[in-house]
């Protein structure tokens, strides 16, 4: 239950980062927004880790997987930020929600986890709920929609690799490593598009990184205590925070379809939890 709680908390916080990023991307280049997400993440985590978790700062044991994980997260961030700079958050999120399916499918292949019928049912029910909430209705497939789909695929593999390193490397090291890799890559490109932010934009960029850092830390810790395929359906709870952010920043008032979809999503999570508990008894 602790892993489920942390996972749900992570999916409630991460959409805050997405909402702020979309808001900033209307005035600043997407690459600069991504840079802020990574740069301030490193700026926050390294001092805090050194002060409070100094004994956990050890060179990663699975360095190759850590690099691969960081690249998956970076690609997912770039593709998703680009997609919702053009599409609406709901449209981009709909396509990106392929990630629980990717996590569930490949966890049985790469992590040798047992993915039973109950987990597949929970994933499918949650996906149906997400579609009801977001009701995509794309008129045509364009570069932005393909980017959102690619973001979901990359994020699915990011979750899988996070699960792989969570058994050997501390959450603090995993979080810092991803931030350093992302900052290193994006810094080569941001200098070509840089626009001087005003004070308000600087504050938002810091808040964006803070939300992303806290959300991913909770996600990393949750994957340390539970299988990736078990937690995958809970990713649909991101819709709750997404609906709130959409309304607050972009006046997207939730309607009856949102509430129906949310009920279905909650049912999928409860179904999975009850079935898993029954199997243990």
Q: Each residue of 227-280: pLDDT tens digit?
A: 766 776 677 677 677 777 777 777 766 567 667 766 776 677 667 656 655 655
Tell me the C-alpha distance between 131 and 134, whole Å: 5
Tell me the C-alpha distance between 45 and 209, whole Å: 10
Residue carrying structure tokens 């409860």: 270
226 Rama sector, left if φ>0, alpha if ψ -120 to 50, beta otherwise? beta
Who wins on pLDDT, 215 or 278?
215
Whether 240 and 266 have beta carbons less than 8 Å apart is answered as no
Tell me the C-alpha distance between 43 and 175, whole Å: 12
Which among 158, 150, 151 has a CA at the least distance from the CA of 220? 158
**What average pLDDT does the segment 13-23 reach?**
87
- Prediction pTM value: 0.75
pLDDT tens per residue, range 81-118: 898 888 777 777 777 777 777 777 677 666 566 667 77
Whether 262 and 109 have beta carbons less than 8 Å apart is answered as no
Integer Rg of the chain from CA: 18
Whether 82 and 147 have beta carbons less than 8 Å apart is answered as yes
pLDDT at 218: 85
pLDDT at 35: 96
Who wins on pLDDT, 137 or 206?
206
pLDDT tens per residue, range 57-78: 777 788 888 899 999 999 998 9
Tell me the C-alpha distance between 19 and 246, whole Å: 7
C-alpha distances in Å from residue 249, one per residue of 22, 142, 204, 257? 9, 25, 13, 20
């Amino acid at each position: 239950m602790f892993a489920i709680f942390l996972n749900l908390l992570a999916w409630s916080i991460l959409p805050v980062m997405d909402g702020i990023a979309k808001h900033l991307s209307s005035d600043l280049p997407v690459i600069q927004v991504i840079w802020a997400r990574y740069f301030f993440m490193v700026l926050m985590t390294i001092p805090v880790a050194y002060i409070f978790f100094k004994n956990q700062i050890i060179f990663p044991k699975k360095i190759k997987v850590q690099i691969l994980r960081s690249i998956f997260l970076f690609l997912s961030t770039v593709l998703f930020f680009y997609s919702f700079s053009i599409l609406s958050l709901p449209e981009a999120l709909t396509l990106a929600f392929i990630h629980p399916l990717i996590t569930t499918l490949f966890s049985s292949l790469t992590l040798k986890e047992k993915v039973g019928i109950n987990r597949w049912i929970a994933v499918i029910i949650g996906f149906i709920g997400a579609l009801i909430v977001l009701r995509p209705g794309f008129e045509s497939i364009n570069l932005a929609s393909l980017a959102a789909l690619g973001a979901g695929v990359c994020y699915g593999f990011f979750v899988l690799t996070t699960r792989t390193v969570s058994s050997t490397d501390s959450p603090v090291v995993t979080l810092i490593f991803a931030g350093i890799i992302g900052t290193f890559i994006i810094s080569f490109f941001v200098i070509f598009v840089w626009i001087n932010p005003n004070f308000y934009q600087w504050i938002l960029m810091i808040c964006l990184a803070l939300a992303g850092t806290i959300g991913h830390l909770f996600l990393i810790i949750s994957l340390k205590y539970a299988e990736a395929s078990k937690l995958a359906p809970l990713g649909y709870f991101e819709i709750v925070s997404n609906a709130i952010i959409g309304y607050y920043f972009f006046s997207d008032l939730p309607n009856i379809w949102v509430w129906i979809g949310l009920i279905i999503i909650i049912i999928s999570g409860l179904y999975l939890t009850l079935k898993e508990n029954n199997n243990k008894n």
